Amino acid sequence: MTVNDRLAALRAWMRQEKIDAYIVPSSDPHQSEYVADHWKSREWISGFTGSAGTAVVTDKYAGVWTDSRYFLQGEMETAQSEFELQKMHNQFGNYYRDWILDNLSSGQTVAVDGRLFSNQQCESFKKVFVSEGIQFRIDADGISPTWKDRADIPMNEIYIHDEKYTGQTRTERLNEIRKKMSAEKADHHLTTTLDDIGWTLNIRGTDIDFNPVAVCYLVVSKTSSTLFIDEEKVPTSIKEALQSDHINIRPYAAIVTYLNELPESDKMLVDPSICNAYLYRAINAQKINGKTPAKYLKAIKNPTEIAHSKRSQIKDSVGMTKAWKWLEDTLKNRKVTEAEFADKLAECRSEQKDYRSESFPAIIGYKGNGAIIHYHPTHDACHDIEYDGMLLCDSGGQYLDGTTDITRTVSFTEPTDQQKLHYTLVLKGMIGLSMARFPKGTQGNQLDTYARMHLWQHGLNYGHGTGHGVGFFMNVHEPPQGFAPGNSERSNTKHEIGMLSSNEPGYYLEGAYGIRIENLMVVVEDKEGWLKFDTITLFPIATNLIDKNLMTDVEIDWLNAYHEETYDKVAPLLDDPHKAWLNEKCKAI
């Protein structure tokens, strides 16, 4: 079926159901960023493959809303169908909701599949739509009847993430959650987010590409817990280990019946901003609306996790060194496709101890493709890299001892003055945030300004956040903290000791080039009442793109010290040719 064929099938179903507008999100029942193939509904109906976006279908119109990271990609992927790309210049805005309000009339009906939206989202929709006389339904699954060759829900086996990496047993983590439950006077807590469940129980899976998680639900009670996961996914040894820690196993689909049968007198702690509307309404117990404790507990990396993360970054740099040297050597003799270099990065990372997978699809953007912020090359659709011009590379790996995410931008030939200006402004912002000292209680939107201020002085900006939280052998994008303007969770979360975040300002000139420089940083104590960042990513930053006249002595000293540390820690793990390559890239300016 073409995209237009799928649209026709969905619209036929909508007419039968008397639905005037149907909203298709990018999420799954667990509010995951990346989802298993079974839940790629928005991608299936619209043909747009970006990881973020929302489709809206009416009888006469089909649109897909996404933010600036995907504008160019979205335009290309919707060009051959009836879908129209709608640009969200503020990725946290309510553009598609507002479009529905402008285009539907009182008495008409908007519908969603409540399993794919949080209860909080659905309540917000209901309030706004009903106030305009528009009916709102949450019980409408229009995808299953029309998606005939839909993939099954994954049934891959889970495995244990060893305590030597995590620094805590599952019992210790469950007890931390129970302390939060006790403070809320709750008998049970429902966890629906896959990364939070994986962290709590020290389990990992392969159900979703790039994120080492398993599809399941978890209910933590006062003295026991119940993991809702299909039994064939749990090896006998793990089942016995879980049971010894008073964790019962029930089928994944049994969660609704379990919630229905809870005593009305019991109290359930549940996060309405995460729990999907379908499950939320299934809870028979008294609901205590609150935050998912694991989300905030896992954001604070313990000393064991931090020590492992630093080691994994060095391993990652070894793999990166091999891949980048290979690219430079190969380009002197032939062209290399963007997809081939992405494969080479994964191959060189895979040679490192305890590697498991990439942490996201590598973004390899040569020249104009670098301006497509989340561009992902495939062997069927990518450009050739030549020994000429600029290349942006954003990639990462999943290791048992850490998750990596790094971006570098290089120029294989002498850059123009404009390229040097843009690159240096981005670098100054990255260094400025790296060097920030700030009082306890400082939020992400306050720190975000460090990264943008030099671009702003030239009337320039970028349309994405400056950084996101990063998991520990877990999701590469891990809320709640990060750096972003505005009023989002990432913007408003206070940075605390142990939080691991990316620092990745950029600048993008459509059709010409993209620039982004990214390191990971962990929050450490500076002095009493004050905090700072410790940069743990160690890999050379291109210096031929720098306009040294724009750099302060303090910035130059930071960069030279960074390169000295990079060489000292990475070089001992390299052979002589790669050591020589690294030494050249780490020369002081």
Q: For residue 335, name the pLDDT band (cuts at 50, 70, 90).
A: very high
Beta-strand relationship, 247-250 and 225-228 = parallel
| Angstrom distances, CA of residue 290 to CA of 185, 215, 275, 294, 522 | 11, 23, 11, 12, 27
Backbone angles phi, psi at 454, to 5 degrees: -75, -35
Give residue 140's Cα distance to chain centre: 28
Q: Where are the domains of the chain?
A: 3-137, 159-297, 303-585
Res 92 pLDDT > 70: no
Res 91 pLDDT > 90: no
Beta-strand relationship, 500-503 and 519-527 = antiparallel
Same fold, 3-137 and 159-297: yes
Superfamily of domain 159-297: Creatinase/prolidase N-terminal domain (3.40.350.10)
Q: Which of 150-164, 372-386, 416-430 has the lowest mean pLDDT?
A: 372-386
Res 571 pLDDT > 70: yes
| Angstrom distances, CA of residue 541 to CA of 411, 556, 563 | 11, 12, 8
Asked if 589 and 562 count as a contact pair (C-beta separation under 8 A), the reply is: no
Q: Which pLDDT belongs to residue 375?
A: 85
State the Cα–Cα distance between residues 89 and 14, nearest whole angstrom: 30
Q: Which pLDDT belongs to residue 373?
A: 85
Structure-token pair, residue 575:
């052979």
Is the pTM here over 0.85, yes or no?
A: yes
**Burial of 396 by CB count in 10 Å (0-12 exposed, 13-18 middle, 19+ buried)?**
buried
Res 130 pLDDT > 80: yes
Task: Work out the average pLDDT over 554-568.
Answer: 98
With vertex at residue 14, the alpha carbon angle to CA 12 and CA 20, rounded to the nearest 5 degrees, is 130
Q: Which pLDDT belongs to residue 71?
A: 83
* CATH number, domain 3-137: 3.40.350.10
CATH fold of 303-585: Creatine Amidinohydrolase (3.90.230)
| 448-505 pLDDT, tens digit each | 999 999 999 999 999 899 999 999 999 999 999 999 999 999 999 999 999 999 999 9
| 174-197 pLDDT, tens digit each | 999 999 999 999 999 999 999 999
Give residue 401's Cα distance to chain centre: 19
| 285-319 pLDDT, tens digit each | 999 999 999 999 999 999 999 999 999 999 999 99
Task: Work out the average pLDDT over 511-531.
Answer: 98
Task: Work out the average pLDDT over 59-88.
Answer: 90
Neighbours of 108 (CB within 10 A): 18
Q: Where are the alpha helices (DSSP H) in 274-384?
A: 277-282, 293-297, 303-331, 338-350
Q: What single-letter amino acid sits at 40?
A: K
